[in-house]
A and B are shown apart, each in its own frame.
Chain A
């Protein structure tokens, strides 16, 4: 979502920001895991973004910019501080392993398994959950994710890979556990 400079008028903020409302809310709810906290977070994000809109650089990515405000706001909230208490290290450790043909995710085509998958995403540490959702649900490019999370692309790739690995592991445990 690149913004040509001449379009940056006062009316533009609403035009740029409101179409992202549903997805920002969905992301906020995934982060906070709570409806009223998600609403507070989204509202604060919109108010801050409007006030800071003059500092937004035309021609750069508005979506990444507003996601970054939302996330910074979340990280300084009580829930956010708690969620970041256990941050996985960004070390590129294990080599990439195959997902395997009979890993449990093949089952998730079925709708009945959706809740199980949602639970497995919920259980991911914050830094894995957010990078996974930005990639799969928001369909952001690695570059855009890097801007939204303020991390280099290499870190986006390694976190994403670790997030997927962790998700598969969560699913396997949930399936075996009953």
Chain B
């Protein structure tokens, strides 16, 4: 039979009740056969799930791989060390290096875009994603004054599906910029604005819609500023927000 205490039994076993409630439930369970049988059954399920849930273990090889990936980087890049050592026989290798250089540039661009994606993800994962919390562009825009070395215009959203959630100052390779968070249909979208001359050249080449593994992204340059719009919203939503920003920049 369910009674007033039934609903508290899980919280009791999970250790989530206040001291006075723990005492009350404990007293009741001792005098109520239904609740004591019930609680026994819940404890057994809890224990069983705890044991059965520890099911998968990573391989030692995989652990070592991840540890290497996150370990502090060596002071000199292997390429540079290798170049110095090889300078005496460089002539033979020039052709090979040129081919590598072209390949590396492409790789660098992909890498640079994943930094934009990571900034976006890290913000969403942060307990305080924005430093200025406001849906009003007239509050958010002036907040950035004196914090970043440029100004920008934000679009009027009253006739759109987008909501401004707020903004924060963000750094991309030591370059300060603005990050604005918008929401559309429960998806959060980041807009990053940096001075175009200050961002990685690899990021300056690309324009238009781009694909990232998990996100849609638009990037363009206007009046010396470089814009990135990124999120897991649809490509159409990303483009619509980009268009709103482009129009706002004209005014």
Contacts and interface: CB of A to CB of B under 8 A. Distances in A.
Interface in B15-50: 15-16, 34-35, 37-38, 40-42, 44-46, 48-50
Contacts of B37: 100-101
Contacts of A52: 118-119, 121-123, 125-126
Given A25-B57, A77-B214, A97-B6, A47 B48 contact: no
A106 interface: yes
Interface stretch (B68-76, B81-89, B143-151, B155-163): B68-76
Given A99-B45, A100-B38, A137-B53, A18 B126 contact: no
A147 B44 CA distance: 27
Nearest to B231: A76
B58 A21 contact: yes
A168 B49 contact: no
Contact of B127 (A98, A133, A147): A147
Nearest to B39: A99
Interface in A13-54: 13-14, 17-18, 21-22, 25-26, 29-30, 35, 38-39, 42-43, 46-48, 50-52
B40 A72 contact: no
A51 B115 contact: yes
Contacts of B52: 108, 114, 117-118, 121
Given A26-B56, A97-B2, A114-B51, A57 B67 contact: no
B53 A168 contact: no
B70 A50 contact: yes
A141 B45 CA distance: 18
Main secondary structure, interface of B, reads: helix
Q: Is the interface of A mostly helix, strand, loop or mixed?
A: helix
Contacts of B124: 72
Contacts of A50: 70
A21 B125 contact: no
A39 to B, nearest CB: 5
B185 interface: no
Contacts of B65: 43
Given A29-B56, A99-B38, A108-B44, A55 B122 contact: yes
Interface of A: 10-11, 13-14, 17-18, 21-22, 25-26, 29-30, 35, 38-39, 42-43, 46-48, 50-52, 55-57, 60, 65, 68-69, 72-73, 76-77, 95-101, 103, 105-106, 108-109, 114, 117-118, 121, 132-133, 135-137, 139, 141-142, 147, 157, 160-161, 164, 167-168
Interface of B: 1-2, 6-7, 9-11, 14-16, 34-35, 37-38, 40-42, 44-46, 48-58, 62-63, 65-67, 69-72, 115, 118-119, 121-128, 214-215, 232
